[in-house]
Chains A and B, each alone.
Chain A
Amino acid sequence: MQIKYEELKRRLKQKTLDPLYLFTGEEIYLIDEAIRSIKNESLTAEEQEANFHTFYADDANWDDLFPLAQTFPFVGKNRLIVLKGLEKMKKGKEETTRLLNFLKKKRLSLIIILTAEKIDQRTKFGKFLTEKAAAVHFYKLFENQVPTWIVQRVKSSGRSISLSLAQIMTQILGNDLSRLDNELTKIYLYMDQDKQITQKHLAIVSDGARIFSVFDLAKNLGEKRPEPSLKILNNLMDEGSNALLLLSMIVRQFRHLCLTKSLMQQGKGAAEVAKSIHLPMIFTRQIIEQAKIFSYERLQTLYAEFLETDLKLKSSSCSPRLILENLVVEICRDSL
């Protein structure tokens, strides 16, 4: 019985536990999160120490697993057994049949979770599991879904982060949820009493220096300061930053500038600008100051430059560092 992750969460919230689960997909982080949720729903903290068992299909011994599954638990009422990596199972037909025969029986007070990257649904084993188990496929989140995931994740910890900052985190750190979660945990440790994650907090995490440098680059370009911009750009390139990522951050800055300039021409105040560009007031003020340096026409011309740079980065044999240096020089042309 195929269900969605949201449905599984809803059922767990209602304390509905199934005797057999099948979790497939490549999003290991979400699979582990689902296992944790079932563990917390089925076992108390004390029971988890005694009645939670994880086996790995590539080296699991059925003679350890089956007797354990067959024995009533010492503490509490439930026993939870997780068998991970079914796709790596190197067992023969006989052993697979033994596992299938074992799984075919519901056992009192036993919950089994099987995980696999994918299951061949044409086999007897696959057919049985997809029909009888509560099966959830965990898709890797698309890059545009990750910022919302970050916002939700932070919210569940009782803190908050703006969507734009979550987008920056995604652009810098990628869409590996485990990594993002680790970075968030580090940020929480440094936040102390603060409840809102800001750029200041991002700067202290492992890749924070890079994030901070990217912001510095964007800020210096917004202020038309060629020397520090080139210096930061070279540092970032030396550290192995992705040129397209840096370009996207520069474009983001100038998108803010364009929007701000347009709003300023319409006579809008700082508060309205802040609302439109989804940035805290302190950063909005910086953007307003920077927008004053550029004419609207110049900003439009620069957009054409960004497009050209993007094309060069994707198609030219020229060094990405040189292409970006030329862009920095073009942006700061008036100040040279």
Chain B
Amino acid sequence: MEFRIARDEFLRGVNIVHNVAIIKGTKPILSHLLFQAKDNRIYLYGTDLEIGIKAEAEAQILKEGSICLSAKMISDILRELPSESEVHFVLEEKNQVKITCGEICFHLLGLQAEEFPPFPQYDSGEMVSIPSNTLREMILKIGITVPMIEQKHLSAPNGALLEITEEFMEMMGTDGHRLSYIKKPGVKGLKNKVKVIFPKKSMNELKRILDDTVNVENISAGFFENQIIFKIGTTELFSRLLETYFPNIRAKIISENDKILTINRHVFRQAVKRVSLFTEEKEKYIMLQLGKGILHFSSQNLGIGDAEDQFPVEYNGPSLEIGFNSSFILDILNILGGDTIVMEMSDHESHGVIREPDNRDYLYVIMPIKLYDEEF
């Protein structure tokens, strides 16, 4: 195996796949990436057995072959090489690789390519096309409510519910305290309705690939028995699906609240940020008092003091006192664009909804905290 490749192109390929490698795992092969040289291209593979990513890089192949190399070492080496330089890669005896770049030379021990877990084969005829910006937006807006790791005490899965039909594409996530829901136009040519739980780690990897990919309007997606496959340009992401229960929270999306406020997002965000300076360190509760024409915020930290703020709002309904976790409010205010947002509430025990004006296709539903405690 021997090839010449531009350092920047090589590093770009490695960066796409190296994140999924398990650096400190019990299986050494999973801390490695597989490199295959053939047809004037380098094919790079990385996997943690749950997610697999395959990327390509243009190279001048002098001799075809394959080898597995430590994801961390190859990534570190390429980063230290001068940009816009050329790398010469040669597989020598006993799985040793020689990497040279001008006067710089590294010898790196690898593992046999046969040890690397095989990637699934799939029928590309079964794939459908999804606009990449749509999928990226869905992941960004839903990802904030999906827990990264499975939490024993929570029934919420560490993945988002993804439903796709020819009419609509929906994604929903929850961490037990809040939920987010987004609806987009459906996917034409879809043979069967899709309803899967897409793992958070795969969502993050897909978003990272989409963020780094330019000039790709549509991506191909394939939904198979227990896995989902995305093809973004020449990069492919394979992910196992979560086989778990997703709580039935659709009722919260359908229900509508009667106390509706239109608020300037920037003013609201600043007020929440200011007041949350005085929340308890670990429990970031703030109190909202809604009165005629005014929204009042307050917080209290028994060891430090308290904070208050208020600003005028267009509201003439009955007053309401409700508590929320300020971090959860800031999460959505940071993600939403536009100058105004709509906040819907009904009473101090029921969920609040934050959304964009005139848009019920993206909803952020947040459960209030209990304000009135009675001593035993």
Query: Using a CB–CB distance below 8 Å, which chain A residues touch chain B?
Result: 20, 46, 49-55, 60, 62-68, 70-75, 104-110, 128, 132
Contact = CB atoms under 8 A, between A and B. Distances in A.
Interface in B359-376: 367-370, 372-376
Interface string B325-357: 100000000000000000000000111000000
Contacts of B154: 53, 68
A71 B369 contact: yes
A70 B282 CA distance: 13
Nearest to B246: A49
Contact of A105 (B152, B179, B325, B374): B374
B248 interface: yes
Contacts of B174: 74
Nearest to A77: B349
Interface in B2-53: none
B370 A70 contact: yes
A132 B376 contact: yes
Given A64-B151, A67-B283, A74-B367, A105 B375 contact: yes
A132 B325 CA distance: 29
Given A72-B367, A108-B370, A50 B247 contact: yes
B153 A63 contact: no
Interface in B254-303: 282-283, 285
A46 B248 contact: yes
B372 A108 contact: yes
Nearest to A103: B376
A53 B151 CA distance: 10
A108 B283 contact: no
A71 B153 contact: no
Nearest to A46: B248
Contacts of B372: 108
User: What 4 A-B pairs have minimum CB-CB distances, sorted nearest first?
Assistant: A105-B373, A50-B247, A132-B376, A53-B153
A68 B374 contact: no
B374 A49 contact: no
Contacts of B369: 67, 70-72
B55 to A, nearest CB: 37
Contacts of B151: 64
Contact of B367 (A65, A71, A104): A71
B208 interface: no
Nearest to B249: A74
A66 B373 CA distance: 13
Nearest to A53: B153
A54 B152 contact: yes
27 contacts: A20-B376, A49-B245, A50-B155, A50-B176, A50-B248, A50-B249, A53-B154, A63-B282, A64-B153, A65-B153, A66-B283, A67-B283, A70-B283, A71-B177, A71-B367, A71-B369, A71-B370, A72-B350, A72-B368, A74-B249, A75-B248, A75-B249, A105-B375, A108-B349, A109-B370, A128-B376, A132-B376
Residue of A51, A66, A106, A128 most packed against chain B (CB within 10 A): A106
B153 A106 contact: no
Residue of A49, A51, A60 most packed against chain B (CB within 10 A): A49
Given A68-B154, A72-B370, 6 more contacts: A67-B177, A71-B176, A71-B325, A105-B376, A106-B373, A106-B375
A55 B249 contact: no
A73 B367 contact: yes
Interface residues of B, number: 32
B252 interface: yes
A105 B372 CA distance: 9
Interface of B: 151-156, 174, 176-177, 179, 245, 247-249, 251-252, 282-283, 285, 325, 349-351, 367-370, 372-376
A100 to B, nearest CB: 11
Contacts of A63: 282-283
Given A75-B248, A106-B375, A108-B370, A70 B350 contact: no
A50 B177 CA distance: 11
A55 B153 contact: yes
A63 B251 CA distance: 28
A63 B367 CA distance: 17
Contacts of A55: 152-153
A132 B154 CA distance: 27
A188 to B, nearest CB: 26
A67 B247 contact: no
Contacts of A108: 349, 370, 372
A53 B252 CA distance: 21
Given A63-B282, A67-B283, A67-B325, A72 B247 contact: no
Nearest to B280: A66
A289 to B, nearest CB: 58
Contact of B376 (A49, A68, A71, A106): A106
Contacts of A132: 376
Contacts of A52: 155
A54 B155 CA distance: 10
A106 B375 CA distance: 6
A106 B374 contact: yes
Contacts of B177: 67-68, 71
Contact of B176 (A60, A74, A109): A74
A72 B376 CA distance: 20
B249 A104 contact: no
A105 B176 CA distance: 22
